Amino acid sequence: MLQRWQHWNRKARLWLWIITLVGVIAALPLGINRMKMESTSKQVEYVFDYRDLVEIAELQARPKAYLEEQLKNMKYVGITTMSLYESSLRELQQAGRLTYYSSKDAALLQSQLEPVGQNFTYILFTGEREEAEIGPIIREAFDRAGAVYRPWSFGGRNGLVIERPLQDSVLKPISFDPITMDTLRDAGFHILARFTDRVLPYEEEEVDKQLAKLKSYGVTRILFDGDKVKGYTDQQESRSINSFASLLNKYGMGVATIENLKKPQRGINKLAFITNYNVVRLYSLSPDDAMGMTPEAIADRFLLAAKDRNIRMFFLNSSAQSSLEKSAVVNSLDNLYITMKGEEGVVQKLADAGFPSSIAEPFKVEHPSYAKPLKAVVAAGAVALIALLINTFLPGLLIPVFLLGLIGSAGLYVLKGPLMEQSLALGAGIAAPTLALVWVMNRIYSRTEGNQRYVGGPDWPLRFSAQQGTGMDSGTTAGNPSGLKWIFEGLTVGRRFGLAIVWFIVTALMSLMAVPFVFGLLNNVTYSLVLEQFRGVSLLHLAPIGLTAIYVLLYTGEAPIRRLRKLLSTPITVLMVVAGVAIAAAGLYYLSRTGNAGTTLPFEKPFRTFLETTFGVRPRNKEFLLAHPLFLAGLFLALRYRAAWVLIIVASIGQLSMVDTFAHIHTPLYISIIRVFLGLGLGAIFGIILIGVWQLLEGAYRKWSPAWKNKVSES
Closest by alpha carbon to 281, among 526, 447, 631, 600? 526
Distance CA 522, CA 421 (A): 7
Distance CA 265, CA 228 (A): 5
Phi–psi pair at 514, nearest 5 degrees: -70, -25
Residue 248, number of CB atoms within 10 A of its CB: 21
Residue type at 490 in one-letter notation: G
| Contact status, residue 195 vs residue 86, Cβ threshold 8 Å | yes
Task: Tell whether the model's pLDDT for residue 452 goes beyond 50.
Answer: no
Domain at 42-86+175-362: CATH architecture? Alpha-Beta Barrel (3.20)
pLDDT of residue 222: 97
Distance CA 131, CA 142 (A): 16
Phi–psi pair at 635, nearest 5 degrees: -60, -45
Q: For 595-643, what is each residue's pLDDT tens digit?
A: 554 555 666 677 777 788 788 888 998 899 999 999 999 999 999 998 8
- Beta strands across the sheet bearing 149-154: 98-102, 121-125, 157-162, 149-154
CA 329 from chain centre, in angstroms, equals 37
Closest by alpha carbon to 248, among 270, 265, 264, 225? 270
| Contact status, residue 195 vs residue 225, Cβ threshold 8 Å | yes
Distance CA 97, CA 63 (A): 13
Q: For 268-290, what is each residue's pLDDT tens digit?
A: 999 999 999 999 999 999 999 99
Residue type at 591 in one-letter notation: L
Task: Tell whether the model's pLDDT for residue 460 goes beyond 70.
Answer: no
Closest by alpha carbon to 332, among 285, 302, 297, 292? 292
Residue type at 536 in one-letter notation: G
CA 469 from chain centre, in angstroms, equals 53
CA 522 from chain centre, in angstroms, equals 14
Q: For 290-309, what is each residue's pLDDT tens digit?
A: 999 999 999 999 999 999 99
Closest by alpha carbon to 373, among 30, 37, 35, 18? 30
Residue 534, number of CB atoms within 10 A of its CB: 22
Phi–psi pair at 189, nearest 5 degrees: -100, 145
Distance CA 263, CA 63 (A): 37
Looking at per-residue pLDDT, the higher value among 643 and 389 belongs to 389
Q: For 33-66, what is each residue's pLDDT tens digit?
A: 999 999 999 999 999 999 999 999 999 999 999 9
- The angle, 0 to 180 degrees and rounded to 10, between the axes of the packed helices 646-663 and 493-511 is 30
Residue 665's contacts (CB-CB under 8 Å, 6 or more residues apart) are: 519, 522, 527, 528, 530, 534
Closest by alpha carbon to 488, among 287, 650, 312, 644? 644
CA 132 from chain centre, in angstroms, equals 48
For the segment 19-40, the average pLDDT, to the nearest whole number, is 96
Helix, strand, coil share of the chain (percent; to 5) = 60, 10, 30
For the segment 657-680, the average pLDDT, to the nearest whole number, is 94
Phi–psi pair at 461, nearest 5 degrees: -60, -35
For the segment 424-451, the average pLDDT, to the nearest whole number, is 91
| Of the listed ranges 115-124, 140-149, 477-486, the one predicted with least confidence | 477-486
**CA trace torsion 28, 31, 33, 34 (10° rounding):** 180
Distance CA 445, CA 448 (A): 5
Task: Tell whether the model's pLDDT for residue 459 goes beyond 70.
Answer: no
Residue 416, number of CB atoms within 10 A of its CB: 12
Distance CA 423, CA 262 (A): 23
Residue 174's contacts (CB-CB under 8 Å, 6 or more residues apart) are: 86, 87, 88, 89, 92, 137, 138, 140, 141
pLDDT of residue 324: 77
| Contact status, residue 207 vs residue 238, Cβ threshold 8 Å | no
State the pTM of this model. 0.86
Task: Tell whether the model's pLDDT for residue 468 goes beyond 70.
Answer: no
The domain segmentation of the chain, as residue ranges, is 2-38+367-710, 42-86+175-362, 88-174
**Largest pairwise CA distance in the chain:** 115
